[in-house]
A = this chain, B = another copy of it.
Amino acid sequence: MLLAPSKKALVPFVSVANMMRLVHHVGVEIFLKELTDAIEADFARWPEFDKTPRLGSHSHDGVIELMPTSDGQIYSFKYVNGHPKNMAQGLQTVTAFGLLADVATGYPVLQTEMTVLTALRTAATSAMAARHLAPKSSRTMAIIGNGAQCEFQALAMRAVLGIESVRLFDIDPKATEKALRNLAGSGLETVACTSAQAAIEGADIITTCTADKAFATILTDNMVGSGVHINAIGGDCPGKTELHPDILKRADTFVEYPPQTWIEGEIQQMPKDYPITELWRVVTGETEGRRDPRQITLFDSVGFAIEDFSALRYVREKIRDTQFFEELDMIADPDDPRDLFGMLSRAAG
């Protein structure tokens, strides 16, 4: 068996099918709740992480990004693309995969699909932020933009905050119909609305998750009443925003990693002295989150590498002692590490 790789050379790989099996094995809402806690635990030790803005390769139709981070013990990165025009060809706007590696040796220890996992971690991050920023008694949320992220957001807010009712709006009624169908039987009351204005009526939490790669105004100032929490997750590249700047002027804005949010988030529209708070400081208790029932809070979420780190770490724990992974022969492992050529030669036999 000259070609049989040794144990050290094998990297556990979670395919899309296995990720879905794992999610159902754990239960979608439990998965979202545990993932929310995993992300919160890593936000609570934010200073321990190496942080860098993601490395993007921009092209006419979209962007391909690498998002690395490390806590000194474990390194992670995610490969993710964003191609809004993909949908018209029947392709995903966002696809992703991720990797964990051992910092001490540089050896990969996990590779997973992250298209499904990113949807889950984005929703879990929103829920984690809302736990600190939304009104305590939140029961109703609005979701503007009923695409791939929509149902994950609704279920995470239900699992973590006890949201009971979801008001849905999309410029394409078919997207809303899809969300209604998928959320039937979830225990959530769902209300299809004919405008963004109608959707946010009575909502404690307003989530915007639209996908167009352009400056857009999904919400204007006159639409937003006091006391709400806005969860703006659709903005994730330069030139892409969802909120009118007047809303930001009235809101207290919380962000993940400022150097990235200034480039990609809603705050790219604001002057550089616009006050922002890093969410991790709220998680550690260093700074207050919501302090007033009339306050408008805004989580200007663009997604950060530490959230992927948390998700990968969580999946690594959950697949232990399960069948939900394969092993990839990804690392050459000669008996004598200097004898890579000898390994190659012997493989000729």
- A: residues with CB less than 8 A from B are 3-5, 8-9, 13, 15-17, 20-21, 23-24, 28, 50, 52, 55, 57, 59, 61-64, 66, 68, 70, 72, 75, 77, 79, 81-83, 86-87, 89-93, 95, 97, 99, 101, 103-108, 113, 115-116, 119, 146-152, 175, 178, 181-182, 328-345, 347-348
- A-B complex: 6 closest residue pairs judged by Cβ atoms: A81-B106, A115-B332, A151-B341, A20-B347, A15-B329, A148-B340
Identical chains in the assembly = 2
A316 to chain B, nearest CB (A): 17
Contact of A66 among B77, B82, B83 (CB under 8 A): B77
Return the contact of A55 from the options B24, B66, B147, B334 (Cβ within 8 A).
B66
Tell whether A116 pairs with B70 under 8 Å between CB atoms, given A3-B20, A81-B105, A338-B148. Answer: no
Q: A3-B20, A91-B333 are in contact. List 15 more A-B contacts (CB 8 A).
A: A5-B17, A9-B16, A17-B329, A24-B348, A57-B68, A57-B103, A64-B75, A81-B101, A86-B337, A89-B105, A92-B333, A92-B334, A97-B330, A115-B332, A152-B340
Q: Which residues of B contact A4 (CB under 8 A)?
A: 17
Q: Tell whether, in the assembled complex, residue A108 and residue B97 are in contact, meaning their CB atoms are under 8 Å apart.
A: yes
Quick one: closest B residue to A63, CB to CB? B106
Contacts of A5 in B (CB 8 A): 15-17
Alpha-carbon gap, A66 to B152, bound state (A): 30
Return chain B residues, CB-CB under 8 Å to A63.
106
Interface SS, A side: mixed
Bound together, the chains give a CA A75 to CA B62 distance in angstroms of: 12
Report yes or no: A181 in contact with B342, Cβ–Cβ below 8 A: yes
Are B87 and A337 within 8 A (Cβ)?
yes
Chain B nearest CB, measured from A258 CB (Å): 19
Interchain nearest-CB distance for A12 vs B (Å): 13
Nearest residue, chain B, Cβ from A170: B338
The 16 sampled A-B contact pairs (Cβ below 8 Å) are: A13-B328, A16-B329, A20-B344, A21-B347, A24-B348, A55-B55, A59-B70, A79-B99, A81-B105, A89-B105, A90-B335, A93-B337, A95-B108, A113-B329, A116-B344, A150-B341
**Which of B16, B81, B150, B151 is in CB contact (< 8 Å) with A330?**
B16
Please name the residue on chain B nearest to A11 by beta carbon.
B97
Chain B residues near A72 (CB, 8 Å)?
A: 59
Contact B15 A152 (CB under 8 A): no
A174 to chain B, nearest CB (A): 8
**A151 and B346 alpha carbons, distance in the complex (Å):** 14
For A344, list chain B residues within 8 Å (CB): 20, 23, 28, 116
Residues of B within 8 A of A334 (CB): 92
Give the residue name and chain of the B residue nearest to A58 (CB).
B50
Q: Kindly report which residue of chain B lies nearest to residue A54, judged by CB atoms.
A: B55
CB-nearest residue of chain B to A332: B115
CA gap between A335 and B63 in the complex, in Å: 23
Point out the residues of chain B lying under 8 angstroms from A86, CB to CB: 105-106, 337
Q: How far is the CB of A78 from chain B (nearest CB, A)?
A: 11
Residues on B with beta carbons closer than 8 Å to the beta carbon of A24: 347-348
CA A340 to CA B152, docked complex, whole Å: 9
